[in-house]
Amino acid sequence: MEELYRRDGAQLVVLYGRRRIGKTELLRRFASGKKAVYLYCERTSARDNLARFRDLLADALGVEFLRGASFPDWEPLFKAVQHILERERVVIVFDEFPYLVDVDPSLPSKFQRLWDEVLSRTKAFLVLCGSSVSVMENEVLGYRSPLYGRRTGSWKLGELPLSALKFFYPRPFEERLYVVRSRRRRADVPQEVRPLGALLEQRGEGVLH
């Protein structure tokens, strides 16, 4: 994402994967130190999510005229700050985007128009993130989705491979760790105890949960 962030022009990024995999933490770290608006979507109503986003946008951009203003939908709100987004790179994150789709099934079509008519002409860095893999793949990435073909980057976040631990811990530390493994989930099957350092030499053997 950092590479995309450094590129010119608007970017539309899709990040998805099962729950508790680290998407939110990854996005928060990415947005840290940048001008950013982070909305954690809720299954309340489209109006409530829009109002919360309006206030977050007002805080991030320092535009008090937004606060308390009434906008009928997403596009008028973004048009009100389009002149700012044309000058500045702003990260805009919709976390759990499928929740918005639940309360407003027409949202993918609305965001298609929003992207085509407004955001694609700015420096906005838009991120759509979700834990519902089916919704993200069908409503955002799928061929029949109104947003199809508009993303500039997409990632399905998976488990951290066990072999990746060697990038986080120095060798002396990992040599003091041991991994208990059982190839079958049966109490009568002996478990295998091996040094973690030895396991890390075998790339892709197991995952770290």
Which whole number is the average pLDDT over 112-122?
96
DSSP 103-119: H-TTHHHHHHHHHHHTG
Whether the pLDDT of residue 153 is over 80: the answer is yes
Q: Answer yes or no: is pLDDT of 157 > 50.
A: yes
pLDDT band at 21 (very low <50, low <70, confident <90, very high): confident
> How far is 110 from 122, CA to CA, in rounded Å?
17
Dihedral sign, Cα of residue 60, residue 62, residue 66, residue 72: negative
pLDDT tens string 37-65: 999 999 999 999 999 999 999 999 999 89
Contact 67, 58 (CB under 8 A): yes
| Per-residue pLDDT at 173 | 52
Q: What is the mean pLDDT of residues 200-209?
A: 49
The size of the chain, in residues, is 209
Residue with tokens 């009434």: 70
Helices (H), the chain: 2-6, 23-31, 46-61, 74-80, 82-85, 97-103, 107-117, 133-135, 171-174, 196-200
pLDDT at 188: 54
Comparison of pLDDT for 18 and 181, the residue scoring more: 18
Tell me the one-letter amino acid at 71: F
* Per-residue pLDDT at 198 exceeds 70: no
How far is the CA of 141 from the CAs of 75, 93, 151, 206, 207, in angstroms?
21, 17, 8, 29, 26
Strands 11-16 and 207-208: unpaired
> How large is the average pLDDT for residues 143-167?
82
Pairwise CA distance, residues 200 & 182, whole Å = 17
- Does the pTM surpass 0.85? The reply is no
Backbone angles phi, psi at 19, to 5 degrees: -65, 155
Four-way CATH pick for 2-156: 3.40.50.10680, 3.20.20.10, 2.40.30.10, 3.40.50.300: 3.40.50.300
Rounded CA-CA distance 105/135 in Å is 11
The pLDDT mean for the chain works out to 84
Highest mean pLDDT among 84-88, 164-168, 201-205: 84-88
Quick one: DSSP state of residue 139?
I
163-196 pLDDT, tens digit per residue, is 666 676 655 554 555 554 545 555 555 555 555 5
Long-range contacts of 109-115 (CB under 8 A, 24+ apart): 109/146, 110/73, 110/74, 110/75, 111/74, 111/146, 111/147, 112/146, 112/147, 112/150, 113/75, 114/74, 114/75, 114/78, 115/10, 115/12, 115/147, 115/150
Domain boundaries, the chain: 2-156, 160-208
